């Protein structure tokens, strides 16, 4: 594929990702796998990375390639990109999606080891991956980080996860400035609760969280995929340093359902006045 200036593209082909060379970390499940599968169907050449033993079979199932990578291990990340560089001489997009979501307890009962692991995987894992992978990303390329609305919404017992994502949100802005001279855009996708392995495991009361959304619905991982497609494509050329919310309004405030529920509770508590 030629490295053309996206500003010269016509309206018809700005969304085209055919032939794009893309690496997706955390690509063996959930949102990462859904994004990878979607991009392959649209003609992109995709490598998915992850720690799963069945990674090869998962990749084969969607028409992608697999490279083992543990984002918590610097040498593993370095080896992975050495292998990727044998397949692709450059990348059009790097999707940094690997992460974990663990309840580590509140400050008076903190599991410090788990707290450190969440930060190490979610924040430092992205830093490690981009530091080793950015040399492969071509000028006018795209770096996409999977973050979360948790970066701006507080929840007891989730301090490490929230802090790890808040850090990513700001790193995206810094990296957008650092890579701007190369016309490499850096953006974050902020999914809400989706019907994926990680999202389901982290939501013991899905009905309560559903009520927190403005739309009152959960999304499938596949519904996030077109957002990644847009950010891989030249259609997103002017967009950098942005946090793209795909969370059905979770951080916006109280939905109608929550307000109705609160109103009923208040009425019950008020009695006859």
SS3 220: strand
- DSSP letters spanning 31-97: HHHHHHHHHHHTT-EEEEEES-TTHHHHHHHHT-EEEE--TT-HHHHHHHHHHHHHH-SSEEEEEE-
Phi-psi region of 241 (alpha: psi -120 to 50; beta: other; left: phi over 0): left
Can you list the domains of the chain with their CATH numbers? 13-201+218-252 (3.40.50.720)
Mean pLDDT, all residues of the chain: 87
**What is the C-alpha separation between 230 and 14, in angstroms, rounded?**
9
C-alpha dihedral, 212 to 217 to 220 to 226, nearest 10°: -90
Please tell me the distance from the alpha carbon of residue 27 to that of residue 15, in angstroms, as a whole number: 22
- 161 catalytic residue (yes or no): yes
Tokens of 19: 């032939």
The pLDDT of residue 3 is above 70: no
Q: Is 92 left (phi over 0), alpha (psi -120 to 50) or beta?
A: alpha
Of 64, 88, 69, give the one whose Cα is nearest residue 80.
69
Asked whether the predicted pLDDT for residue 157 surpasses 70, the reply is yes
The helix/strand count (H/E) of the chain reads as 10, 9
* pLDDT score for 123: 98
- Rounded to an integer, what distance in angstroms lies between the CA atom of residue 207 and that of residue 222? 21
27-77 pLDDT tens trace? 999 999 999 999 999 999 999 999 988 999 999 999 999 999 999 999 999
Catalytic residue among 81, 161, 175, 218: 161
Candidates 53, 240, 226; CA nearest to 142 is: 240
pLDDT tens across 88-133, in order? 999 999 999 999 987 778 899 889 999 999 999 999 999 999 999 9
180: three-class secondary structure by DSSP: helix
Q: Give me the residues paired with residue 67 across strands.
A: 49
Residue 98 in contact with residue 73, Cβ under 8 Å? no
Residue pair 127/145 in contact by the 8 Å Cβ criterion: no
Is 70 exceeded by the pLDDT of residue 269? Answer: no
pLDDT at residue 254 in the model = 54
Which tokens in the block code for residue 204? 């013991």
The whole-number average pLDDT for the span 163-183 is: 98
pLDDT for the residue numbered 92: 99
């Amino acid at each position: 594929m030629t490295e053309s200036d996206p500003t010269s593209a016509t309206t018809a082909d700005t969304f085209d990702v055919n032939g794009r060379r893309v690496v997706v970390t955390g690509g063996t499940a959930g949102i990462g796998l859904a994004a990878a599968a979607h991009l392959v169907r649209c003609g992109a050449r995709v490598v998915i990375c992850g720690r799963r033993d069945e990674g090869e079979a998962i990749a084969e199932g969607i028409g992608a390639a697999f490279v083992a990578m543990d984002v918590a291990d610097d040498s593993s990340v370095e080896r992975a990109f050495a292998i990727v560089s044998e397949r692709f001489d450059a990348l059009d997009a790097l999707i940094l999606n690997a992460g974990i979501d663990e309840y580590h307890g509140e400050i008076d009962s903190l599991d410090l080891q788990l707290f450190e692991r969440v930060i190490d995987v979610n924040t430092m894992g992205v830093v490690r991956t981009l530091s080793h992978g950015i040399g492969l990303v071509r000028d006018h390329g795209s770096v996409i980080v999977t973050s979360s609305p948790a970066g701006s919404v507080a929840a007891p017992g989730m301090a490490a996860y929230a802090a790890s994502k808040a850090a990513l949100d700001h790193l995206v802005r810094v990296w957008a400035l650092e890579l701007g001279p190369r016309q490499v855009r850096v953006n974050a996708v902020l999914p809400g609760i989706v019907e994926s392995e990680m999202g389901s495991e982290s939501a013991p009361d899905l009905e309560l969280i559903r009520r927190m959304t403005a739309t009152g619905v959960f999304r499938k991982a596949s519904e996030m995929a077109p957002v990644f497609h847009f950010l891989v494509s030249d259609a997103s050329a002017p967009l950098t340093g942005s946090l793209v919310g795909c969370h059905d309004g979770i951080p916006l405030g109280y939905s109608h359902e929550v307000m109705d529920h609160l109103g009923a509770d208040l009425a019950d508590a008020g009695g006859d006045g």
